[in-house]
Chain A
Amino acid sequence: MPQATDTAGARSVEQRALARLPDLASAPRRSGLAAMAGRAFRAFWRVPSENAYAAIGLVIYALFVLTAIFADQLIHYEPLEILLNEETYQLARNLPAGSEHWLGTTYGGRDIYSQLVIGTRSALAVGITAALCVVAIGTLVGLISGYFGGWADNLLMRLADIALGIPFLPFVIVLASFLGAAQSNVVLGIALLLWPNSARVIRSQVMSLRERAFVEAARVTGAGQWRILFVHIAPNVLSLAFLYTSVAVGWAILTEASVSFLGFGPSNTVSWGYMLQDAYASQAMGRGQYNWFVPPGLCIVLVVMAGFFISRGYEEVLFPKLKG
């Protein structure tokens, strides 16, 4: 492998250029899916060490993922359990933050800290599923549209225009209220409307890849259309797809929270949006219960921001031309 990352800036231009040339006899096989996957994997780990945004974003994500996995061990009470004062048998309502209840209790006498921890699960579940759906559709449409062009391109891009012409949040609300208040319906709404953005970018990338020499080479060796598309072109847009996924996770979590907040989310699943809706409906703001409604919002900000950070960090390193 040639050393692509030059650390010693003192070396002359010629030496650097020579060092970049692969030694063909001993060079490892550089084409094919396995080699590509290996390169992608190495690039994935290289970026955080070079870019602070990517590193911070990944650390935040890792923390939330760990919280979601070990949520059962981390909670102190069942999140929907109605707590009573052990001496007076009165509802443990609106308790301030303290050692017993780290973030206090809600108007309904439930432990806020436990709700917050459990809420990580639904946030990540919705965020990641929806993002994967959005980017899978977007990538597929972008690949087909950009590679084949013609009527397929026309049809798919017109569909994209229609999807972009539907107001996003109102649509998800209407869908969730008609199909039932379930998180799968929120995911469906997000997947149906958010794919055009990634599709358009990937389409233009594919249109330029299509003209490159390696695609021509593949065609000459007799590779079929679909093989060229999925084996030779698709791996080259995966990093773009990854960028969109990290941002889409954020949009999905924001959307889920908004839908739950407006009261169209499932009422038996504790999510951050559910907590905020509960706080709003119980007039926590009037009582100044910042311990109740600030933490769920901060968690949303952190997860969504981590997605932006990751996307920004990887973009700066992998696509320096797009740097902004």
Chain B
Amino acid sequence: MKYVLSRLFYSILVLWIVGTILFFMFRLMPGSPLAAFIDQTTTLEQQQALIARFGLDKSLFEQYLIFIQNVLQGDLGQSFFHRRPVTDVVMEALPNTVILTMSGLVVAYVFGVLAGAYLAWRRGTTVEGIGIPLALATRAAPEFWLGMVLLAFFSFHLGWFPAGGANTVGLSYDSEWERIFTLDYLRHLALPVLTLAIYLQGLPLLLMRSNMIEILQEEFVTMGKMKGLSSRTIVLNHAARNAMLPVATAFALGVGSAIGGNVVVETIFSWPGIGRLLVNAVSASDYPLAQGAFLIITAVLIAMNFIADMTYHLLDPRIRLAASN
């Protein structure tokens, strides 16, 4: 328990430091942060008023204190481009990103774990000789390129899936739930999820395979063989279970890094998620929005690192004991 609390405190500390780095990075940028707001028709007085309104006339340190205070209250400022609170814009995009990432990860990990266990079982065969280079190749393929090829083939060539977005334009829904649980949404979701899954499955596959190989050499497996259990039972019930532990940790870490890496997949498929929001905000010099989106992605990443740490801790008694000593 003490360990959990100290890790939690530490995670929050890291988040605060990264947030601080972000604040100064965005503040020390060349050019005025108001550039997007000011056009030729703005008078000098209006400019002054804007500067005062955004608190840009205060010292950097004062601005920083206000920033921290606002973030703690869930206020991430006003988006220059959307002319709405950043928090609202980001929170609208976040569910789409979470759905995309989680679906992609679940597909990738279910496939990766099964295929990895299978490859470990068929060690030294032709299946392995083809499977491993193939897994390495999918990990080497840029996500956005995979997306482009899938898009060209399944969407433009065969016409099976829509080319982008999350919902067909013009349809309206009564609630957020209704929007998500429609066939239309799922059809839009299919290709981005497939892209993400192809890219992500390599890690659990290789991890699962090497863990399995290691575990199949351990004594309790020999024991099982001596008891006369079939190799299927041994692989599925005994070895696979133990080999899953590191994969579970990798999954949690994967959520954090995938949400950051989604930037390209979301852009390719015009998926209205937080990554695409960030790219557009950076392109449009919408600093408050870029900063807010970045901060949320960071928070998810650090939270997931923390959860990965905890699962690892809870699942493996050896580590639990080592820490308590």
Interface residues in chain A, defined as those with a beta carbon under 8 Å from any beta carbon in chain B: 161-162, 164-171, 173-174, 177-178, 250, 254, 257-258, 261-264, 276, 279-280, 284-286, 288, 290, 293-294, 296-297, 300-305, 307-309, 312, 323-324
Contacts and interface: CB of A to CB of B under 8 A. Distances in A.
B294 A170 contact: yes
Interface residues of B, number: 54
Given A169-B264, A178-B29, A288 B156 contact: yes
Contacts of B163: 286
Nearest to B294: A170
A167 B260 contact: yes
A167 B206 CA distance: 24
26 contacts: A162-B21, A165-B302, A167-B260, A167-B301, A170-B263, A170-B293, A174-B282, A178-B30, A258-B142, A261-B264, A262-B279, A276-B148, A279-B148, A280-B268, A285-B152, A286-B156, A288-B156, A297-B142, A300-B141, A300-B145, A301-B145, A302-B140, A304-B139, A304-B141, A308-B136, A324-B210
Interface string B293-312: 11001100110010000000
A2 to B, nearest CB: 29
A294 B145 CA distance: 8
A193 to B, nearest CB: 11
B186 interface: no
A284 B301 CA distance: 35
Q: Which 7 A-B pairs have the closest CB atoms?
A: A324-B210, A167-B260, A297-B145, A304-B140, A285-B152, A305-B140, A165-B14
A92 B148 CA distance: 24
A301 B30 contact: no
B127 interface: no
Contact of B157 (A170, A177, A257, A288): A288
Given A258-B264, A301-B140, A301-B141, 16 more contacts: A165-B302, A166-B21, A168-B260, A170-B297, A171-B294, A258-B142, A258-B144, A280-B144, A280-B268, A285-B156, A288-B157, A297-B145, A297-B149, A301-B145, A304-B141, A324-B213
Contact of A285 (B146, B151, B275): B151
A262 B280 CA distance: 10
B99 interface: no
Contacts of B136: 305, 308-309, 312
B142 A165 contact: no
B145 A173 contact: no
B172 interface: no
B283 interface: yes
Contacts of B305: 164-165
A180 to B, nearest CB: 9
A288 B149 CA distance: 10
Nearest to A323: B210
Given A290-B152, A297-B149, A324-B206, A169 B140 contact: no
A297 B264 contact: no
Nearest to B283: A263
Interface string B260-302: 1101100110000001001100110000001001100110011
A262 B263 contact: yes
Given A258-B142, A297-B142, A312-B136, A280 B263 contact: no
Given A178-B29, A254-B142, A167 B283 contact: no
A162 B22 CA distance: 12
B229 interface: no
B49 interface: no
Contacts of B156: 285-286, 288
A294 B109 CA distance: 27
B264 A324 contact: no
A57 B142 CA distance: 18
B142 A177 contact: no
Contacts of B140: 250, 254, 300-305, 307-308
A285 B157 CA distance: 9
B148 A280 contact: yes
A165 B15 contact: yes
Contacts of B259: 167
A305 B15 CA distance: 34
A165 B279 contact: no
The CB with the most chain B CB atoms within 10 A, among A167, A294, A324, is that of: A167
